[in-house]
Every structure is written in C-alpha cells, then in structure tokens.
Structure 1
Amino acid sequence: MTERGNNALWRDRTLLKIGPSQLHWDGNGLTIDIDEKAAVIPRAVRGRIRVTPEVLGQRRFRLDPQGRHVWEPLAPRSRVDVAFSDPDIAWSGHGYFDANHGSEPLEDGFADWQWSRAHLKGGDTAVIYEGKLRSGNDFGMALRIGRDGNAEVCEMPHGVVLPRTGWAIDRLTRADSAAAARVRATWEDTPFYSRTALSSRMFGEDVHAVHESLSLDRFRSPIVQWMLPWRMPRRN
C-alpha cells in the first residue's frame, strides 16, 4: 500500500478515492476496489472486497476524557466477499468493520492499545478495547453488541498475557479465565503492530477471536519512522 498526497484524494458522501483505489457505499454494502503496488517487492495488488453489514452499530465511543479520539464499531458483524486477480485468491466469510477518528495523531493520544473481537452464537459480537493514554492513564471497555446494533457495556473479563511477537510487542487479551486464551496464528507481525488469531472463551462461549496489539511508543520512534517509507512508499 501507499501513502498519497492531497491531490490523490477525492470523496463525497458515498465514495472515497485514494489514488487508483476506492471505497464506495451503495446503501447496502461497502465495495472496496484495490489497485496498488506491493512493497518491498513492487508487484501488483488488484482486487475487490465486498463488505455487507449484518449488524449496524448504534453508538460511538470516546477513548479519552477530552473526546479527541472517537471509535465507532460501524458494522460489528458483516459478510465479507474477497475476489483478487493479483494475487489470484478468493474467499468469503464473516468480518467486522470499525473506524477511529480524532483531532490529533494517534501517537499523540496513546502509548498503546489492545483490541479483540469475536462473534458469538445468536449473532452477538464481543469486543474488548483497552490500553494506555499518552497521559499515563488506562482506558478500557468490554462490549457485547447485539443484532440490533446496541452495545451493552459489560464487566471486563480476566486479563491474559499472550506470548510476545517476533518484534517483541506485548500482547494482552481478555477471556473468561486466565487460561482460556491461546494464540492460533500470528497473521501480521511488524515493529509496532500485530494481528493475531486466538482460540478463546468469552461470555461463556468457546470462540475464535481476532486480536490486535498496537505500540504507539514504538511507532513514533525515529528508527521506525525511518523504516516506514520502505514498507509503505509515499507518492504525491
């Protein structure tokens, strides 16, 4: 993927274009058309992702007392259909779609965060979001989002320390007991971010969960900032 300048950006109420790629909302679902060059080896990445919400979130959440950072679980449960020509892959399954936005860079507001999501029987979605603000204060919430999109705030489950990533990023999740979660696969392992598949137990159910760890302290370090253009080239 690439980071691009203002002249490569265009949007209206239903369409967002970033260079040759775009996202389009048609009222029933989100179509993501990708036409990019991979890094570090510059090979083509072309394809389409269709995200069809099965549940639409009804709330947004402030992550800090001043409200500088807002998180929205826009579609806590969705149907996802993927069809790529480069590389030649296709699959369908269930997914999740959220958004963060705010009035300052993430690294100015947070030191780190941990997030996880699991789909429960009956159509509910469990979401855990926690971390440390740049001020040093902790934040966190455990949510059970129903099929109507309403989010019930629940007691935070037990903390479970997971093995560190290959880049030595700390991973923490929540489960019904301290021994109820384990790493199934590490999908993404970078100097400041990881995405992990877990086997866990949440709200009394055995689940497959998706988990992410983000270190903004690591992200803002000069050496990582120097490395980023090699992994994510800048283009005007």
Structure 2
Amino acid sequence: MNALPALPDSPGAYRWFYADVTAGEYSAVFIFMVGSLFSPRYSARVKRGALPLEHCAVNFALYHRGVSRRWVLSEYPQASVLRQGRELRIGRSRLEYAPDGTVRMEVDERCAPLGKAVRARLVLEPQVPAAEELQLVPGLPHFWRALAPRAKARLDVLSEDVSVEGIGYHDGNHGAELLGARLPRWHWARVHGPEETVVDYHLPDGVAPLRVTAGVLGTKSERRPLLSEARPTSLTGWGLRVPAQLYSGNTVVGTPRLLESSPFYARVEARRDGLDVMGEVADFRRFHSPFIRWMAHFRTRVERAA
C-alpha cells in the first residue's frame, strides 16, 4: 500500500494504523487513530454527533525487557492528509507510505499526562505481501487488514538514545460504528518466528477466529474453526480476562507479561526460543462506562490543533 485509505467521516466511525517492533531487549508500539478508541470524549459525545476527525490520537509505548519506559497518548481535534494522500499528520507526528512500500512513523509528543518530550521513529520495509481485508464478524461493519505482517524494522527513540533493528508488524482497523455498540470485545496476537509470522484474531460469541500466515510462501488469510476446548484465561488486577498462556499454534510460548493493564485494555508479550508474541485484549463495553471513561483522562494529553 502506497497511499492512505479514505478517513472516516460519520459519528462513531474509526480508522487506526498500528505497528509494533521487537528488537533485542526492546519492543515498541505506534498507533495513529482517527476516531480514537482510547478517547473518553469521543465515547461520551458520539450520541450528540461527534465526528472521528474531531478525536484523533497518537499512541506510542516503549518497553525494555518487558517493562514500560515511555507512554504517549495525545488527542487532537483534527488530522491532515498530505503528499498526494501518502501522509497522515496528527499534531507534530506523522505516518507516511512511501512509493517504494516503506512505512514510516514519526512521533513528536510528550508523555501522558504531564511527562517529558518523546521523539521516536519507526521505519518498516515489508518482507511479505499485505493480507486481504477481512470482516471481523459477519454482518457487522468492522474490518481488519494486516498491511505488513512481517517487515524489517528500525526503531530510533531519539529522546532515549535508543537505535535498534528487528522485526516489525503493521496493520489497520476501521469500522462504521462505535466499538462496543455491537462488537463487545476481542483479543488478538501476532507471533514472529524465525521464518514465518502468524496473526490470530479471536472474536466473541462463538465467531470463528481469523488467521493470517506470512512467510516465504506468501501471505494467507483464513477463518479458522472454533477450538473444541476453550484455552485457559486469568484475571488481571483490574478484573479483565486475558489469556493464561500465549501460543504459537499449539506450542506454549509462555505466560504473558502485562506490558499495559487497565480496566478495559491489556497489552501482552511473551518470548521463548526464537518466538516472539505480542497482542492486545480489549473490552469496549467496559470502556464506555462513565467511571472508566473518567479514569482514561489520566492517561491522555488533550492537545490543541497543530
């Protein structure tokens, strides 16, 4: 993909662009959001006609040996599309799709809510084709596409004097209604192995999971049969149910480390024997409760238009 898709323009709609990188002792996540799923303001105002472009956000997180080093979540009332549709600009941060297929994400923000300046850059060189776009739940307007399931990655966090290379992953989600309205939750994980990357998307209410497999034989998308037995789960300190183990196929990679934990969202990671798993658990209906929306304000910086 060398150009941005159309941005959403109706109340409750959203589109975001996600990327992560694993590089030695470091891992990092970049997300550019139009209609931010982390925004308590968007959640509260949708019924009054709030538009996704009024609630854009940039999220960046840096981890070292599984411990959070930096967290950025900055919300802006607008975004811009530049360079003949190849660049998304939110505040001072930007996402660019180059004509040669390279993906660049640059973050120039401050830690939430009142922290130090952060400058970070991720460059992805895709090594496999993009997957086809998949509808998460039949009949519901929510879609996911693995844009660069496996990529050569370079991470530079200029404000932390970090410069490392590793394996990257990039995808995008979009939908025409607020998450939590009819799609209550999901969890997903991507597994980088020595030669192949596998991404599994687990959905609620008996919906068969999705899988993308990417490697030397290309990229394959499929809807998998439901597991005959549910895999074990555990509760976080917030009472959010997360996988008790992270898997590569049927192989246990390890007990997930909680990179981020909140009442409605968790980011998890496990590594073992050349396998690296990172994933997310989200309960959108929890997020829309007034108390949790109030708590979310303390993890966010609200910025003026750039």
With the length of structure 1 as denominator, give the TM-score of the two structures.
Answer: 0.84
* 2:200 is the counterpart of 1:128: yes
Deviation of residue 52 (structure 1)? 1.5
Structure 2 stretches lacking a partner, 5+ long: 1-72
State the alpha-carbon separation in 1 of the partners of residues 279 and 131 from structure 2.
22
When residues 143 and 20 of structure 1 are mapped into structure 2, their CA distance, relative to the original with a 3 A threshold, is closer
Deviation of residue 36 (structure 1)? 0.5
* 2:91 is the counterpart of 1:19: yes
- CA deviation digits over 1:92-138, x for unaligned, max 9? 2112111100111222232111101112343x321111122xxx553
Number of residue pairs aligned between Structure 1 and Structure 2: 225
- Could you list the structure 1 runs, at least 4 aligned residues long, displaced by more than 3 angstroms after superposition: 136-139, 152-159, 173-177
Show the counterpart of 2:171. Answer: 98
Show the counterpart of 1:145. Answer: 214
Amino acid corresponding to residue 216 of structure 1 in structure 2: F
8 Å Cα contact 2:146/2:212 also seen in 1 = no
Between 138-147 and 75-84, report the one with greater CA deviation.
Answer: 138-147
When residues 49 and 143 of structure 1 are mapped into structure 2, their CA distance, relative to the original with a 3 A threshold, is closer
When residues 155 and 119 of structure 1 are mapped into structure 2, their CA distance, relative to the original with a 3 A threshold, is farther
* 2:231 is the counterpart of 1:163: no
With the length of structure 2 as denominator, give the TM-score of the two structures.
Answer: 0.66
Q: Which of 196, 207, 224 is residue 275 of structure 2 equivalent to?
A: 207
Deviation of residue 74 (structure 1)? 0.6
State the alpha-carbon separation in 1 of the partners of residues 102 and 182 from structure 2.
31
When residues 47 and 146 of structure 1 are mapped into structure 2, their CA distance, relative to the original with a 3 A threshold, is closer
Superposition RMSD in Å: 2.5
Show the counterpart of 2:145. Answer: 72
Show the counterpart of 2:300. Answer: 232
State the alpha-carbon separation in 2 of the partners of residues 174 and 141 from structure 1.
15
Percentage of identical aligned residues: 26
State the alpha-carbon separation in 1 of the partners of residues 206 and 224 from structure 2.
20
* 2:154 is the counterpart of 1:81: yes
